[in-house]
Amino acid sequence: MKRRTFGHWLVRQGGAVVLGAGAGGCAAPVSRPVSNVAVAGQAATRTPDETVSARPASPLPEPGPPPVLHIPARTEERLGDHGLTLTVAPRPGLPLVSVALVLRCGSAFDPPGRRGTAELMVQCWMRGVLRRGRPVEGVALARQAQALGGAVSVRVEERWTMLEMTVLAPRAGAALALLSDVLRHPLLAPADLPGLRGQARDALALRLQDPAQLAALVARRTAWGAESPGSVTTPASLMAVRHEDVLALHRRWVRPDRVAVVLAGDIDVAGARALAGPVLEGWARPAEPLAAEPAEPGALPEPLLPQTLLLHLPAVAQTSVLVCAPFVGTEAADHAAGTLAAAVVGAGHSARLNQEVRVRRGLSYGVTGRTEPQRLTGLFVASAQTEHAHAAEVAALMQTQLLALAQQPVGSAELVARRAAMIGALARQLDTTSGLVARIGEEWALGHPVEWLSRWPARLEAVSPAQVRAFAQQHWTAARLRTVIAGPVDRIFAATAWPAGAVRLEASALVLDSPSLRR
């Protein structure tokens, strides 16, 4: 996920935050014998000198009653005949309003071979806009936002982009006007692109030296292959973006029938209509028909690479380990069961992965799990960083815990605790107007109906332990797991053999533009 505030990019990948602007492959199949390193579904065995004693599991307290989640009522309607959507979630009492414009266009809409076009387009938006017929450069635009008591944040996702501000209620109209000008009237000056492109390339070069971020990029490539979610931004793809690519992307997709105005806070529906009408007046639907959207994958493709990839990064301080497993789309019947399965395994301190790797064995500061759902399919990614000598063991533990969910039933108390944690996290998000706007905008961008969010807690409550186990049995099998280990391979496997069928890749020779990571 990528977030931007005025003047800065906060790029989140693999748990790291990078502040910034927004070679031939060489793979050698492993021929060394396998002795005591893990493969998918098998825990690593260690000699007595290598064994790290496992602490007994500490008893967890009994879960309390489930939290009560109050989701504000929300209305959604089309404004006029231009196709723009207005969504309002009133929350009276606190004199704040969060305003967002959500555009159904993101990184998946980039031209072939020019991944990064959407991100560069958004950066160009912030370099200057036309306001009341006069050009306003980026610094002055930032000052105008600050004068309203807020700042513009931008979120660029695979299939959508969001502009958002939070201000005092009397300034909501001015904030919406500013966001509207950013979206509708950017200058998109040709002179801005070379500098922005260079900044993005330099920031990316730094990220590619981080084992966690590099492993995440390779894992995405490994899982998605040639499908659009598997495309990653590279220095070459950034430098290939031309000014006409940015103009074409903006001209084709920034149109009212692709945009939602989302307001949450101390405002009612009538007030929202009154604010949106004048600001968006004259924005007519283009005469040309809407172009076909990039196709969404219906399932993870057949893998192009072996189950285990060893990325050789000789100079890093710690090794990063990622284990990926298939997930389901938000429209799947077992999406709620899968979400709870992912939470049982990887969400929080008491989740199984963290208990096994950190609490009982002290092999990492923590293991995290996240889902990357699309509308029709998705991916689950568990990640950890550890000392080089423990990387193979950590990978084995992570694989084992994912596979064990299909064999060992989830206890009722464990499921109740994970469900309560999930509902509590949602409650914290919805407790702020900015969090509420972000969640509503995301639901709209994914095509979910208005009632989807309000029904989500009940869908989670209806999931049984048997359904969680059934999800794992269907989707998380040994053959479908993919593991990426990024670090100094020779040190990681100094005392143990490599996994059977693994491939070693030199990080300096990766070709991330290719689904096979090589030329």
Residue 274 belongs to what H/E stretch? helix 269-279
Q: In this predicted model, what pLDDT tens digit does every residue of 100-114 receive, in sequence order? A: 999 999 999 999 999
Helix (H), strand (E), coil (C) string for 217-263: HHHHHHHHCCCHHHCCCCHHHHHHCCHHHHHHHHHHHCCHHHEEEEE
Residues contacting 300, CB < 8 A, separation 6+: 223, 224, 326, 377, 379
Amino acid at 141: L
Strand order in the sheet with 308-312: 27-29, 503-506, 308-312, 482-487, 319-328, 377-386, 367-373
3-state secondary structure of 474: helix
The predicted structure's pLDDT at residue 297: 85
Cα separation, 215 vs 120, whole angstroms: 24
How far apart, in Å, are the Cα atoms of 478 and each of 129, 140, 322, 381? 52, 55, 15, 15
Pick from 382, 409, 402, 410: nearest CA to 478: 402
Residue 286 DSSP SS3: coil
DSSP 8-state assignment for residue 403: H
| Cβ contacts of 50 within 8 Å, gap of 6 or more | 389, 495
* Residues 405/243, Cβ–Cβ less than 8 Å: no
What is the DSSP pairing of strand 308-312 with strand 482-487? Answer: parallel
Burial class (CB in 10 A: 0-12, 13-18, 19+), 491: middle
* Long-range CB pairs of 348-357, under 8 A, 24+ apart, other chains included: 348/418, 348/421, 350/60, 350/417, 351/418, 352/401, 352/404, 352/405, 353/382, 353/384, 353/397, 353/398, 353/401, 355/57, 356/397, 356/400, 356/401, 357/384, 357/386, 357/394, 357/397, 357/398
pLDDT of residue 37: 38
Give me the pLDDT at residue 60, please: 60
Domains recognised in the chain with CATH numbers: 2-21+72-279 (3.30.830.10), 298-507 (3.30.830.10)
Counting as low any pLDDT under 50, the low residues of the chain are 1-53
Tell me the percentage of the chain whose pLDDT exceeds 90.
63
- How far from chain centre, in Å, is Cα 509? 26
What pLDDT shows up at residue 286? Answer: 86
- C-alpha 492/C-alpha 362 separation (Å) is 17
Q: What is the pTM of this model?
A: 0.84
User: Which DSSP state fits 508?
Assistant: G
